[in-house]
């Protein structure tokens, strides 16, 4: 059940009224539910309980230290893609031996930092990267634990920007070259080959492409075993979709049921890298209506949240449900509006041609399903301070990141 429900006609996050919260912390504000984070993490735990597994939460989806530490305390590991994310994961208390490092462009410095931290595994995305990692590890006198990210060339049936497992994408080692890359990796003294990795895309609403990809990876693992290259872990990536509008993504259980037979047979530890499905529906962006504007050709609702706060509608044309915080507004007539922010771009919108109950200046709106790829993709465009982030737990809340100040915005800059 969503943690965002109306109580006494006010939209609440768990037991905290969003109206009362906005009066204290201001808007725009990101609000996350702790219970919801824990529930989705636990869903993976239940679905994969009968195989050895680690849920390595994909930090890129929402890297707030408050969010990370809740997940870390509940036993999650971390999937990171940069030195910055490594720093955050360690600061939040994620055990290094539950951290995996993915990404096509790891620098030598980032490799050194991760080797020093003694992480679980590097997901290596090219043969060139294999050789550099080998060199860096040898310089440090250690061996780097590696998996090769295999590009299984399956169509994940999602938005082209977030499809990663097609042969035309920049990610992973092409399936037909993977065997040879493993043979090379096995000869490199600075590497210890322990795993195989895949990730075919994000916001997947069907599990069958993932199952097809898993089957290909398992077949590779079996072939490698015949060459005495022993793979102990398969990282199946992240990507499970969420409901933004009317999507019906598989449940954790349905997802697991489809994938587990092949993984069980391979006898490996299963690693997962979910991001969106853990945090997406655990968060909203709270914004206040500033003005109504009717140009004759179109009606606009101008709000104080903008594309710099939530870029997904502008960048991917993605749909986020928008609801009034005051439920009595919902009884009003519907009108078709664009919900737009203050930024000087026509691409600055949170919704286009949306049927919305008539709202007035000062009304609060909740932009739903904004917990993943929301704040993390925010910018300071138009010199707008980034929003405050709040984590709700029952009837209490914590400001897990204060709103930026103008001083924050110019810190680090100097006039010559």
- By annotation, the residues acting in catalysis are 344
Query: Do 91 and 64 form a contact (C-beta atoms < 8 A)?
Result: no
Place of tokens 């906005």: 22
Contact stretch for ligand LLP (CB under 6 A) within 17-25, 37-45, 238-246, 351-359: 238-246
Query: Do 155 and 134 form a contact (C-beta atoms < 8 A)?
Result: no
Phi and psi at 191, nearest 5°, equal: -120, 145
Contact stretch for ligand LLP (CB under 6 A) within 10-18, 89-97, 199-207, 408-416: 199-207
CB of 322 to ligand LLP, least distance (A): 17
Nearer residue to ligand LLP within complex by CB, 200 or 224: 200
Q: Which of residues 340-399 bind ligand LLP (CB under 6 A)?
A: 372-373
The H or E element that residue 224 is part of is: helix 208-226
CB of 60 to ligand LLP, least distance (A): 6
Q: Which of 34, 98, 199, 354 binds ligand LLP (CB under 6 A)?
A: 199
CA 206 vs CA 44, 209, 210, 257: distances in Å? 17, 7, 8, 13
CB of 348 to ligand LLP, least distance (A): 17
Nearer residue to ligand LLP within complex by CB, 27 or 314: 314
Place of tokens 């919902």: 330
Q: Which of residues 139-198 bind ligand LLP (CB under 6 A)?
A: 162, 164
Q: Which of 88, 312, 354, 386 binds ligand LLP (CB under 6 A)?
A: 312
Nearer residue to ligand LLP within complex by CB, 33 or 151: 151
- Total count of residues recorded for the chain: 416
If one asks whether residue 237 binds ligand LLP (CB under 6 A), the answer comes out as yes
Q: Compute the distance between CA of residue 319 and CA of residue 374 in angstroms, rounded to an integer.
A: 13
Nearer residue to ligand LLP within complex by CB, 243 or 299: 243
Contact stretch for ligand LLP (CB under 6 A) within 42-50, 107-115, 268-276, 335-343: 268-276
Contact stretch for ligand LLP (CB under 6 A) within 28-36, 187-195, 206-214, 272-280: 272-280
If one asks whether residue 3 binds ligand LLP (CB under 6 A), the answer comes out as no
Q: Which of residues 69-88 bind ligand LLP (CB under 6 A)?
A: 79
DSSP state of 103: -
Query: Do 12 and 18 form a contact (C-beta atoms < 8 A)?
Result: yes
Q: Which of 33, 58, 82, 126 binds ligand LLP (CB under 6 A)?
A: 58
Query: Do 192 and 230 form a contact (C-beta atoms < 8 A)?
Result: no
Nearer residue to ligand LLP within complex by CB, 102 or 287: 102
CB of 55 to ligand LLP, least distance (A): 11
CB of 103 to ligand LLP, least distance (A): 7
Nearer residue to ligand LLP within complex by CB, 185 or 236: 236
Nearer residue to ligand LLP within complex by CB, 244 or 397: 244
Q: Which of 33, 36, 62, 277 binds ligand LLP (CB under 6 A)?
A: 277
- State the sign of the Cα–Cα–Cα–Cα dihedral 288, 294, 300, 302: negative
Contact stretch for ligand LLP (CB under 6 A) within 28-36, 235-243, 244-252, 293-301: 235-243
**Which bin fits 160, alpha (ψ -120 to 50), beta or left (φ > 0)?**
alpha
If one asks whether residue 33 binds ligand LLP (CB under 6 A), the answer comes out as no
If one asks whether residue 239 binds ligand LLP (CB under 6 A), the answer comes out as yes
Nearer residue to ligand LLP within complex by CB, 21 or 81: 81
Q: Compute the distance between CA of residue 205 and CA of residue 203 in angstroms, rounded to an integer.
A: 6
Phi and psi at 260, nearest 5°, equal: -65, -40
Place of tokens 């917990």: 371
Q: Which of residues 97-116 bind ligand LLP (CB under 6 A)?
A: 102
Q: From the CA atom positions of the chain, what is the Rg in Å?
A: 23
Closest CA to 209 of 199, 219, 220: 199
Q: Compute the distance between CA of residue 281 and CA of residue 370 in angstroms, rounded to an integer.
A: 7
If one asks whether residue 256 binds ligand LLP (CB under 6 A), the answer comes out as no
Q: DSSP for 238-306, please give it.
A: --B---SSS--PPPHHHHHHHHHHHHHHHT-EEEE---HHHHGGGEEEEEEEEEEEE-SS-EEEEES--
Site residues for ligand LLP per CB under 6 A:
58, 61, 79, 102, 162, 164, 199, 202-203, 237-240, 273-277, 312, 316, 372-373
């Amino acid at each position: 059940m969503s943690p965002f429900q109306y109580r006494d006609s006010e939209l609440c996050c768990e037991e905290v009224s969003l109206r009362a919260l906005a009066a204290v912390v201001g808007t725009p504000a990101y609000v996350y539910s702790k219970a919801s984070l824990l529930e989705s993490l636990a869903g993976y735990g239940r679905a994969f309980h009968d195989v050895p597994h680690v849920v390595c939460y994909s930090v890129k989806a929402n890297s707030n230290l408050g969010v990370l530490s809740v997940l870390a305390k509940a036993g999650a590991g971390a999937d990171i893609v940069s030195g910055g994310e490594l720093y955050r994961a360690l600061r939040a208390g994620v055990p290094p031996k539950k951290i995996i490092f993915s990404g096509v462009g790891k620098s030598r410095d980032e490799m050194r930092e991760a080797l020093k931290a003694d992480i679980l595994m590097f997901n290596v995305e090219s043969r060139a990267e294999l050789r550099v990692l080998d060199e860096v590890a040898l310089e440090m006198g250690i061996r780097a634990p590696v998996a090769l990210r295999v590009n299984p060339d399956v169509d994940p049936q999602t938005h082209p920007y977030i499809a990663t497992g097609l042969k035309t994408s920049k990610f992973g080692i092409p399936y037909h070259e993977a065997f040879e890359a493993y043979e090379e990796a096995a000869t490199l003294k600075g590497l210890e080959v322990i795993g195989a990795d895949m990730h075919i895309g994000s916001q997947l609403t069907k599990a069958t492409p993932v199952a097809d990809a898993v089957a290909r990876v398992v077949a590779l693992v079996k072939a490698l075993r015949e060459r005495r290259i022993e793979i102990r872990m398969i990282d199946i990536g992240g990507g499970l979709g969420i409901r933004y509008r009317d999507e019906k993504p598989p449940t954790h259980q349905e997802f697991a049921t489809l994938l587990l037979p092949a993984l069980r047979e391979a006898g490996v530890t299963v690693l997962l890298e979910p991001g969106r499905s853990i945090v997406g529906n655990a968060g909203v962006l709270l914004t206040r209506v500033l003005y109504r504007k009717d140009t004759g050709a179109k009606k606009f609702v101008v709000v104080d949240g903008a594309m710099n706060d939530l870029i997904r509608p502008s960048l991917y044309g993605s749909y986020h449900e928008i609801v009034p915080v005051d439920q009595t507004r919902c009884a009003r007539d519907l009108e078709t509006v664009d919900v737009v922010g203050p930024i000087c771009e026509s691409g600055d919108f949170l919704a286009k041609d949306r049927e919305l109950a008539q709202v007035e200046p000062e009304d609060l709106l909740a932009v739903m399903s904004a917990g993943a790829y929301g704040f993390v993709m925010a910018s300071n465009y138009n010199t707008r301070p980034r929003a405050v982030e709040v984590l709700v737990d029952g009837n209490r809340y914590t400001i897990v990141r204060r709103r930026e100040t103008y001083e924050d915005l110019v810190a680090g800059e100097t006039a010559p």
